[in-house]
Amino acid sequence: MCNSKKVVGCDEKDKSTLLKFKHGVTDPSGVLSSWSIEKKDCCQWKGVHCNNITGKVTELNLPCPEIIPAYGDDKSHCLTGELSMSSLFELEFLSYLNLGNNDFNTIQYHSQLGNSSSSINHLDLSNNDNLQADNIFHWISNLSFLQYLNLGGINLQKETNWLQSVTLLPSLSELGLYDCRLQDIYPSLQYANFTALKALDLSKNEFASELPIWIFNLSSGILGIGLSKNFIYGQLPETLPRLQSIEYLYLDNNDLNGTIPDWVGQLEQIQELELSFNSFSGHIPISLRNLSSLTLLGLHNNFFTGIISQRNFLSLSKLNNLGLGSESLTFDFDLEWIPPFQLESLLLWYLNPKLPSWIYTQKSLILLNIVNSVFSLEPFDKFWKFVSNQVDYVDLLNNSINGNLSNVLLNSKVVILEGNNLRGDIPRVSPNVTLLDLSNNSLSGSISPFLCSKTKEKNNLQYLDISHNLLSKELPDCWMHWKSLLYINLEDNNLIGQIPHSIGSLSNLFSLSLFDNMLSGEVPLSLKNCKKLRLLNLGENEFSGVISSWVGQSVTGLQLRSNQFSGNISTAICQLHSLKILDLSNNRLSGSIPSCFRNMTSMISKNESFESFHVSIPLAHTTFDFDFNLMLLIKGNELNYTHSMRVVDLSSNNLSGSVPSELFMLIGLQSLNLSHNQFMGMISQDIGNLTLLESLDLSSNRFSGQIPHSMSGMSFLEVLNLSCNNFEGKIPSGTQLQGFANLSYVGNPKLCGPPLAKICPQDEKPPNEGQTREDDEDDNFEVQSWFCMGLGIGFATSFVAVLIAVFFNERFRHAYFRCLSQFYHMVTQKFNSIS
């Protein structure tokens, strides 16, 4: 806002420019509602700051606020559309521009843009994740007064000369290019011509090279360097680089190796040193104890050897964040030692054999993280009392901790106890608990005492995961006491009975998984009251009835496979415009595929989706993001996605009729499985519209006619199964369809042409060879019949496992893909040897 002492109102030319900018963007939540002709003084508009004397606009500050708690990266309330830099830089005195965290998709600018905007010194376009910003440095490099530049989160993969461009900015002091998909860091370059740079953040990119030399030859005035979460390898330089003034150095989550050189102990000004998640080896230098300014030291998850004791920490009185632990590193602290520091966070990896006693002297501890350790918590009660009294975030992940939780009261804001040997009943939780993860333990008994116990205070639990345990008995009708829940995962237990009607009282619910239990009956209609529900997984149970209006309109992922649902596929499914994963396989569905499938518009767009699924929980000093990652097999590579793949699986039902051409209007589909039904008729040439398809299974149906020639254009197809149908004629030529093994086509006696051994009539050779060919065809027919009898179980199981990987279960993916590969090659070799 303008100062009340301003002499003049808003400059009319600047006002006109701002209105022009507003007209060109989409503003779904009315952020710019105050920008109107009726409100004449534009200096009073939201986000606008002016010079008090001239009335000229000097600052535009319109970052999109995050929603806490968040239901994924929801930017439906943010500014979107085209970002017209040309119009903004008509504001000739604009010096500060922040449009970060919005959802702009394109940038419009002209070639002389930099010449008309020389007063800009602060530019923040970060976290506009879908922004197409080709040649963005072409005009940014002309902003000669630019001091602060943040383009983090923007895809800059095509910017091959990014380093040369930013070195043309003589005043640049802070540069943020984190998570930009940059690939070239110029490792052999000796010097980068930064004259004023103080802070450089290149974290979370795709650099796969040796540690760049120029990083360690930056000017002696550099204060902060971030190279975290890349693929950088090699060793730290042996001699002291020009970093004597550095205060922050982040090299974690790379593949750096070798020993830590002694010169690290000479960085007297350093406050934060993060070297965790690398391959460093040797002893931890004793010289690190000289870094008396250290507040953060991260050394965990490396290959350090030797002993670490109080000798390493004698002068580190300012330390408040510490990470320690390697598989071959021995903890040897005196039982009576009292550290000179008070920690806020402590991360211990590979702790063995017991918890250091000095932990109980830490009165400021907020976060405690112990991972991959073998240790005892004796005395058990002392530890939980200590944690409950002061630790906001406790994460004991994949340890060998034994103990009965039945009488424990959990009081921390975030409690993650995944993958231990904990047993007994579900522990009690106080209203302070926001996130509770007890998955992969041996907890047993009923969930009723946990859900139905009455408390005087309102529960604040948002995230509940008790999956992969031994819980039994029914789900109680007590969910109305837990209205703050966003995420529920109770999969892989022994729960029985029906889903209670009170589940519909969870109006904020984002994700519900009851996968792999023994639940039965019809799904209650009250579930539709969960209007924010995005992910619903009821697979591998005994649910029955029809799939109808209990499915909410906001669902993105719907997995109902391996139940007893019957009847036709309801047209209500077609109203799920946000749906990206539809798995109705292995049920008792009948009838035909509704032609209204084309209404599932999220499967129509060809644009790559970056909608991620996570819960954001505010802590005392930070925000904790808990991601729901989906592990998918894309073109032969296992990739960790935080956005949903587009899948339709209707396999192993009693569906019949022809496949409507409207299904092939879902051009965003990446996986389609219609196998093991009673579909018949010809496949429309419209199937060629599915150019993004990576997996297609039409096996074990009654399809007839020729394989559509349009399928030759499916350039992303990695998995194809057309076996056990009545296809006929020649397999369309081209490298795509003929690149698959004959396993993809067997069981179609009238099909011919490569890769099958059967030669098509138009390609026939002399009769004597033809007679031999007829004998071979008889043998092939017997093999194909044998193959089709066994194919149902094999391919159904395979496709089910793929969809398990898509829906939450990343633990079985490695074993599955190895098994599938071995099975595929075994059957192919067997068939080839016979044919």
The pLDDT of residue 765 is above 80: no
Which of the four pLDDT bands, split at 50, 70 and 90, describes residue 512? very high
Instruction: Give the number of residues written for the chain.
Output: 835
Residue 635: predicted pLDDT: 38
Range of lowest pLDDT (216-220, 345-349, 739-743) = 216-220
The pLDDT of residue 703 is above 70: yes
Query: What's the rounded Cα separation, in Å, for the pair 627 and 613?
Result: 6
The pLDDT of residue 701 is above 90: yes
Residue 183: predicted pLDDT: 94
Query: What's the rounded Cα separation, in Å, for the pair 106 and 133?
Result: 6
SS3 of 246, please? coil
The pLDDT of residue 623 is above 80: no
Higher-confidence position of 133 and 343:
343
Residue with token string 């029914």? 474
Residue 40: predicted pLDDT: 79
Model confidence pLDDT, tens digit, residues 436-477: 999 999 999 999 999 998 778 889 999 999 999 999 999 999
Model confidence pLDDT, tens digit, residues 719-743: 999 999 999 999 998 778 888 999 9
Supply the mean pLDDT for the chain: 86
Nearest CA to 414 out of 391, 398, 397 is that of 391
The pLDDT of residue 255 is above 80: yes
Residue 818: predicted pLDDT: 38
Residue 219: predicted pLDDT: 83
What the chain holds in terms of domains, given with CATH numbers, is 1-182 (3.80.10.10), 207-350 (3.80.10.10), 401-538 (3.80.10.10), 546-834 (3.80.10.10)
Higher-confidence position of 686 and 552:
686
Nearest CA to 827 out of 722, 741, 749 is that of 741
Query: What's the rounded Cα separation, in Å, for the pair 75 and 530?
Result: 20
Model confidence pLDDT, tens digit, residues 170-200: 999 999 999 999 999 999 999 998 989 999 9
722 class by beta-carbon count within 10 Å (0-12 exposed, 13-18 middle, 19+ buried) = buried
Query: What's the rounded Cα separation, in Å, for the pair 660 and 669?
Result: 15
Residue 607: predicted pLDDT: 57
Which of the four pLDDT bands, split at 50, 70 and 90, describes residue 402? confident
Model confidence pLDDT, tens digit, residues 82-99: 998 888 888 989 999 999
Residue 818 CB contacts under 8 Å (≥ 6 apart), including other chains: none
Q: Mean per-residue pLDDT for 221-238?
A: 95
Residue 509: predicted pLDDT: 93
Higher-confidence position of 237 and 71:
237
Model confidence pLDDT, tens digit, residues 557-614: 899 999 999 999 988 888 888 888 899 999 999 999 999 988 888 888 765 544 555 5
The pLDDT of residue 552 is above 90: no
Task: Name the strand (E) or helix (H) holding 793.
Answer: helix 767-806
Token readout for 485 is 């829940």
Q: Would you give the DSSP letter of residue 322?
A: E
Token readout for 715 is 């350039």
Model confidence pLDDT, tens digit, residues 625-647: 665 544 333 334 444 344 567 88
The pLDDT of residue 826 is above 80: no
Task: Name the strand (E) or helix (H) holding 337.
Answer: none
Q: How far is CA 355 from CA 382, 389, 642, 691, in A?
A: 12, 18, 35, 56
Residue 205: predicted pLDDT: 96
The pLDDT of residue 812 is above 60: no
Residue 601: predicted pLDDT: 86
CB 725 within 8 A of CB 699: yes
Query: What's the rounded Cα separation, in Å, for the pair 682 and 705?
Result: 5
Q: Mean per-residue pLDDT for 417-444?
A: 95
Residue 634: predicted pLDDT: 37
Q: How far is CA 690 from CA 94, 373, 669, 687, 710, in A?
A: 47, 48, 6, 6, 10
Q: Mean per-residue pLDDT for 764-780?
A: 53
Residue 736: predicted pLDDT: 81
Token readout for 210 is 């040796």
Which of the four pLDDT bands, split at 50, 70 and 90, describes residue 373? very high
Query: What's the rounded Cα separation, in Å, for the pair 278 and 502?
Result: 48
Residue 4: predicted pLDDT: 45
The pLDDT of residue 241 is above 90: no
The DSSP bridge pattern shows strands 393-397 and 233-234 to be unpaired
CB 248 within 8 A of CB 225: yes
The fraction of the chain above a pLDDT of 70, given in percent, is: 84
